[in-house]
Amino acid sequence: MFKKTMNSVNKYVLQALDNYPYYLEDTLESLSYALSYDESNTMALCLMGRVYAEQLFDYEQAKKYFQEALSHNVHALEVYPYFIQTLIDMGDYEAAKKTIKYALTLPGMSLAVIWIKKVLLLEKLKKYKKALKILKMAKLDNLNSDLSTIIKSIEDRIKGKLEMNKTGKKRSK
């Protein structure tokens, strides 16, 4: 019975992941089924949090789903990047800092992804020079070609903001 339940949960979680973000109604239906089989499934809870954060912009509800997932498994690596992004988006910078610090200690965590979240937090706080230093850590820990493109894009954007700050300061003098 347990094996059949786990297969059903995995089937619905995979369907939800396959549908997200293009078929939200099907995503939510699959997540509802998955969570009815196993209300502590971290992957389903994480994706539900993503729906609330990324599609509905209901950050409080998203935060609850991410926290629920982590309450069942603090080592649910899939949750941290989305949870951190939600904390940044909702302006909860202290919680984001603490979560980043903890995520960097987890075995198996994609460090480059977490470093990028720290860079985004620093960018939000307008600490551009510090963000560029941390971006070097992301580059060093990165093993993914697609992520290299994202890192380069972030670097260019931050350098542009830093340049705007410099020219703005020169004009105001």
For residue range 161-170, list pLDDT tens digits in order: 999 988 877 6
Whether residues 155 and 173 fall in one domain? yes
Question: pTM of the entire structure?
Answer: 0.92
Residue carrying structure tokens 């979240």: 117
Distance CA 50, CA 7 (A): 23
Q: Which of 109, 130, 157 is the last residue of a domain?
A: 109
39-90 pLDDT tens trace: 999 999 999 999 999 999 999 999 999 999 999 999 999 999 999 999 999 9
**Structural domain that includes position 64:** 1-109
In sequence order, what are the residues at sequence separation of 6 or more whose Cβ sits closer than 8 angstroms to the Cβ of residue 157?
Answer: 123
CB 50 within 8 A of CB 62: yes
- Specify the pLDDT at position 8: 86
The confidence score (pLDDT) of residue 6 equals 67
pLDDT at 167: 80
Instruction: Looking at the structure, tell me whether residues 98 and 153 fall in a common domain.
Output: no
Same domain, 2 and 77: yes
Written as one letter, the residue type at 49 is G
Model pLDDT for residues 81-119, shown as the tens digit of each residue: 999 999 999 999 999 999 999 999 999 999 999 999 999
pLDDT digits (tens, 9 = 90+) for 1-28: 445 566 889 999 999 999 999 999 999 9
CA distance 63 to 86: 7
> Quick one: 75 and 12 in the same domain?
yes
